[in-house]
Amino acid sequence: MITNSAFAVEPWVVRERDLDMGTLAQTESVFALSNGHIGMRGNLDEGEPHGLPGTYLNSVYEQRPLPYAEAGYGYPESGQTVVNVTNGKLIRLLVDDEPFEIRYGRLHEHERLLDLRAGTLTRRAHWSAPSGCPVRVTSTRLVSFTQRAVAAIRYEVEALGSPVRIVVQSELVANESLPALSADPRATAVLESPLVMEENVTTEDCAIMIHRTRVSGLSIAAAMQHDVDAPDGTHMDMSGSGDTGRLTVVTRLEPGQRLRLVKLLAYGWSAERSRPAMHDQVMAALAGARSTGWDGLVSEQRAFLDDFWSGADVEIDGDPQVQQAVRFGLFHLLQAGARTEQRPIPAKGLTGPGYDGHTFWDTETFVLPVLSYTYPSAVADALDWRRTTLPQAKDRAKRLGLRGAAFPWRTIHGEECSGYWPAGTAAFHINADIACAVARYVDATHDIEFEREIGLPLLVATARLWRSLGHHDVGGRFRIDGVTGPDEYSALADNNVYTNLMARRNLRAAADATVRHPDGAQQLGVTVDETASWRAAADATYLPFDDRLGVHPQNEGFTEHARWDFAATEPEQYPLMLHFPYFELYRKQVVKQADLVLALYLCGEDFKFEDKVRDFAYYEALTVRDSSLSSAVQSVIAAEIGQLDLAYDYLGEAALMDLDDLEHNTRDGVHIASLAGAWTALVAGFGGMRAGGGRIRFDPRLPDGITRLAFRLCYRGRRLQVVVTADTTTYHLLEGDPLSVMHHGEEFLLGEQPVTLPTPAAATPDCWIRQPRGREPLPRRAGALRRPRP
Amino acid sequence: MITNSAFAVEPWVVRERDLDMGTLAQTESVFALSNGHIGMRGNLDEGEPHGLPGTYLNSVYEQRPLPYAEAGYGYPESGQTVVNVTNGKLIRLLVDDEPFEIRYGRLHEHERLLDLRAGTLTRRAHWSAPSGCPVRVTSTRLVSFTQRAVAAIRYEVEALGSPVRIVVQSELVANESLPALSADPRATAVLESPLVMEENVTTEDCAIMIHRTRVSGLSIAAAMQHDVDAPDGTHMDMSGSGDTGRLTVVTRLEPGQRLRLVKLLAYGWSAERSRPAMHDQVMAALAGARSTGWDGLVSEQRAFLDDFWSGADVEIDGDPQVQQAVRFGLFHLLQAGARTEQRPIPAKGLTGPGYDGHTFWDTETFVLPVLSYTYPSAVADALDWRRTTLPQAKDRAKRLGLRGAAFPWRTIHGEECSGYWPAGTAAFHINADIACAVARYVDATHDIEFEREIGLPLLVATARLWRSLGHHDVGGRFRIDGVTGPDEYSALADNNVYTNLMARRNLRAAADATVRHPDGAQQLGVTVDETASWRAAADATYLPFDDRLGVHPQNEGFTEHARWDFAATEPEQYPLMLHFPYFELYRKQVVKQADLVLALYLCGEDFKFEDKVRDFAYYEALTVRDSSLSSAVQSVIAAEIGQLDLAYDYLGEAALMDLDDLEHNTRDGVHIASLAGAWTALVAGFGGMRAGGGRIRFDPRLPDGITRLAFRLCYRGRRLQVVVTADTTTYHLLEGDPLSVMHHGEEFLLGEQPVTLPTPAAATPDCWIRQPRGREPLPRRAGALRRPRP
Which residues in chain B have Cβ-Cβ distances shorter than 8 Å to A67? 67-69
In a domain, B546, yes or no: yes
Whole-number pLDDT of residue B185: 45
Cα-trace Rg, chain B: 27
Question: What residue of B is the nearest CA neighbor of A561?
Answer: B481
Which residues in chain B have Cβ-Cβ distances shorter than 8 Å to A401? 580-581, 584
Domain boundaries, position B334: 313-743
- Which carries the bigger pLDDT value, residue B405 or residue A789? B405
What distance, in Å, lies between the first and last C-alpha atoms of chain A?
Answer: 31
What residues are paired with A252 via a beta bridge?
A: A165
Can you list the positions of beta strands (E) in B519-605? Answer: 562-563, 588-589
- Specify whether A379 is located in the same domain as A234: no
In a domain, A782, yes or no: no
Which residues in chain A have Cβ-Cβ distances shorter than 8 Å to B562? 471, 479, 481
Q: What DSSP element (H or E) covers B236? A: strand B235-241
A568 in reach of chain B (CB within 8 A): no
In a domain, B342, yes or no: yes
Whole-number pLDDT of residue B181: 56
pLDDT tens-digit readout, B616-656: 999 999 999 999 999 999 999 999 999 999 999 999 999 99
Backbone torsion region of residue B87, taken as left when φ is above 0, otherwise alpha when ψ lies between -120 and 50, otherwise beta? beta
C-alpha closest to that of A219 among A281, A145, A287, A293: A281
C-alpha closest to that of B721 among B713, B506, A689, B396: B713
Q: How many residues does chain A have?
A: 790
pLDDT tens-digit readout, B339-363: 999 999 999 999 999 999 999 999 9
Instruction: Name which of B66, B400, B580 is nearest A584 (Cβ-Cβ).
Output: B400
pLDDT tens-digit readout, B480-494: 999 999 999 999 999
CA distance A22 to B516: 63
Which of A546, A587, A589, A592 is the best residue to mutate to test the B interface, defined by the most B CB atoms within 10 Å of its own CB? A587
B581 in reach of chain A (CB within 8 A): yes
Whole-number pLDDT of residue A189: 52
B66 in reach of chain A (CB within 8 A): yes
B395 in reach of chain A (CB within 8 A): no
C-alpha closest to that of B344 among B365, B333, B358: B358
Last residue of a domain, one of B270, B303, B336: B303
Q: What CATH code is carried by the domain that includes residue B285?
A: 2.70.98.40
Buried b (16+ CB within 10 A) or exposed e, A743-759: beeeeeebeeeeeebeb
- Chain A segment 670-709 residues within 8 A of B by beta carbon are none
A72 contacts B420? CB cut-off 8 A: yes
Supply φ then ψ for residue B33, to 5 degrees: -115, 145
Whole-number pLDDT of residue B189: 52
Question: What residue of A is the nearest CA neighbor of B80?
Answer: A69
B79 contacts A185? CB cut-off 8 A: no
In the sheet with A746-750, reading across from the earlier edge strand, the strands are A690-692, A695-698, A739-743, A746-750
In a domain, B769, yes or no: no
CA distance B655 to B636: 13
pLDDT tens-digit readout, B7-27: 999 999 999 999 999 999 999
Q: What CATH code is carried by the domain that includes residue A554?
A: 1.50.10.10
Which of A66, A73, A409, A542 is the best residue to mutate to test the B interface, defined by the most B CB atoms within 10 Å of its own CB? A73
Whole-number pLDDT of residue A631: 97
Question: What residue of B is the nearest CA neighbor of A78?
Answer: B69
- Specify whether B222 is located in the same domain as B363: no
pLDDT tens-digit readout, B100-152: 999 999 999 999 999 999 999 999 999 999 988 899 999 999 999 999 999 99
CA distance A516 to A511: 9
Contact between B510 and B463 under an 8 Å Cβ cutoff? The reply is: yes
> Predicted confidence band at B604 (pLDDT cuts at 50, 70, 90)?
very high
- Specify whether A325 is located in the same domain as A246: no
Which of B70, B494, B548 is the best residue to mutate to test the A interface, defined by the most A CB atoms within 10 Å of its own CB? B70
In a domain, B17, yes or no: no
Whole-number pLDDT of residue B188: 47
A580 in reach of chain B (CB within 8 A): yes
Whole-number pLDDT of residue B763: 74
Cβ neighbors of A568 (< 8 A, separation 6 or more) are none
- Specify whether B588 is located in the same domain as B455: yes
Contact between B228 and B258 under an 8 Å Cβ cutoff? The reply is: no
- Specify whether A640 is located in the same domain as A660: yes
CA distance A156 to A511: 60
- Specify whether B281 is located in the same domain as B138: yes
What distance, in Å, lies between the first and last C-alpha atoms of chain B?
Answer: 31
Which of B574, B583, B589 is the best residue to mutate to test the A interface, defined by the most A CB atoms within 10 Å of its own CB? B583
Which residues in chain A have Cβ-Cβ distances shorter than 8 Å to B566? none
- Specify whether B91 is located in the same domain as B42: yes
Contact between B691 and B645 under an 8 Å Cβ cutoff? The reply is: no
Q: What DSSP element (H or E) covers B435? A: helix B429-445
What's the number of domains chain B is made of? 2
Q: Is the peptide bond before A486 cis (omega within 30 degrees of 0)?
A: no
**Catalytic annotation, residues of A:** 488
A72 in reach of chain B (CB within 8 A): yes
pTM: 0.93
A557 in reach of chain B (CB within 8 A): yes
Last residue of a domain, one of B273, B303, B333: B303
In a domain, B760, yes or no: no
What is the percent of chain A with per-residue pLDDT over 90, rounded to a whole number? 92
CA distance B780 to B638: 14
What ipTM does the predicted assembly reach? 0.90
Question: What residue of B is the nearest CA neighbor of A568?
Answer: B401
B12 in reach of chain A (CB within 8 A): no
pLDDT at B219 over 50: yes
Cβ neighbors of A656 (< 8 A, separation 6 or more) are A4, A321, A322, A325, A662
Cα-trace Rg, chain A: 27
Which residues in chain A have Cβ-Cβ distances shorter than 8 Å to B491? 492
A 10 A CB-CB count for B295 gives 10
Which residues in chain A have Cβ-Cβ distances shorter than 8 Å to B561? 479, 481-482, 494
Buried b (16+ CB within 10 A) or exposed e, A442-476: bbbbebeebbbebbbbbbbbbbbbbbebbbebeee
- Specify whether B380 is located in the same domain as B435: yes
> How far from B33 is each of B55, B57, B141, B350, CA to CA, in Å?
10, 12, 8, 8
- Specify whether A606 is located in the same domain as A719: no
Nearest chain A Cα distance for residue B659, angstroms = 28
In a domain, A780, yes or no: no
- Specify whether B281 is located in the same domain as B343: no
Report residues of chain A scoring pLDDT below 50. Answer: 1-4, 182, 184-188, 190, 784-790
C-alpha closest to that of B718 among B686, B745, B750: B750
Instruction: Name which of A70, A421, A584 is nearest B401 (Cβ-Cβ).
Output: A584
Mean pLDDT in residue range B289-314:
98
CA distance B168 to B139: 13
Relative to beta strand B8-9, strand A739-743 is unpaired
pLDDT tens-digit readout, B532-579: 999 999 999 999 999 999 999 999 999 999 999 999 999 999 999 999
CA distance A611 to A285: 56
A183 contacts B71? CB cut-off 8 A: yes
Contact between A223 and A152 under an 8 Å Cβ cutoff? The reply is: no
Which of B396, B496, B560 is the best residue to mutate to test the A interface, defined by the most A CB atoms within 10 Å of its own CB? B560
Q: What is the DSSP letter of B754?
A: -
Mean pLDDT in residue range B670-695:
97
- The half-sphere exposure of B545 on its side-chain side, counting CA atoms within 13 A, is 11
Last residue of a domain, one of A686, A717, A748: A686
- Which carries the bigger pLDDT value, residue B762 or residue B88? B88
A 10 A CB-CB count for B356 gives 25
CA distance A88 to B501: 66
- Chain A segment 589-618 residues within 8 A of B by beta carbon are none
Contacts 24+ apart (CB under 8 A), B10-15: B10/B320, B10/B324, B11/B320, B11/B323, B11/B324, B11/B327, B12/B115, B12/B116, B12/B117, B12/B327, B13/B113, B13/B114, B13/B115, B13/B116, B14/B113, B14/B114, B14/B116, B14/B324, B14/B328, B14/B659, B15/B111, B15/B112, B15/B113, B15/B114
Which residues in chain B have Cβ-Cβ distances shorter than 8 Å to A482? 561, 583, 586-588
**Residue B550, amino acid:** G
In a domain, B647, yes or no: yes
Supply φ then ψ for residue B489, to 5 degrees: -95, 15
CA distance A403 to A401: 7
Which DSSP string do the residues of B698-748 spell out, in sequence order? E-----TT--EEEEEEEETTEEEEEEEESSEEEEEEEESS-EEEEETTEEE
- Specify whether A594 is located in the same domain as A716: no
**Residue B603, amino acid:** C
- Specify whether A225 is located in the same domain as A327: no
Contact between B321 and B140 under an 8 Å Cβ cutoff? The reply is: no
Contact between A712 and A719 under an 8 Å Cβ cutoff? The reply is: yes
B482 in reach of chain A (CB within 8 A): yes
Cβ neighbors of A410 (< 8 A, separation 6 or more) are A355, A356, A358, A359, A360, A416, A417, A418, A424
B419 contacts A68? CB cut-off 8 A: yes
Instruction: Name which of B66, B482, B587 is nearest A586 (Cβ-Cβ).
Output: B482
Supply φ then ψ for residue B253, to 5 degrees: -115, 135
Contact between A418 and B70 under an 8 Å Cβ cutoff? The reply is: yes
A580 contacts B73? CB cut-off 8 A: yes
CA distance B198 to B242: 10
Nearest chain B Cα distance for residue A780, angstroms = 33
SS (H, E, C) B248-305: EEEEEECCCCEEEEEEEEEEEEECCCCHHHHHHHHHHHHHHHHHHHHHHHHHHHHHHH
**Catalytic annotation, residues of B:** 488
What is the percent of chain B with per-residue pLDDT over 70, rounded to a whole number? 97
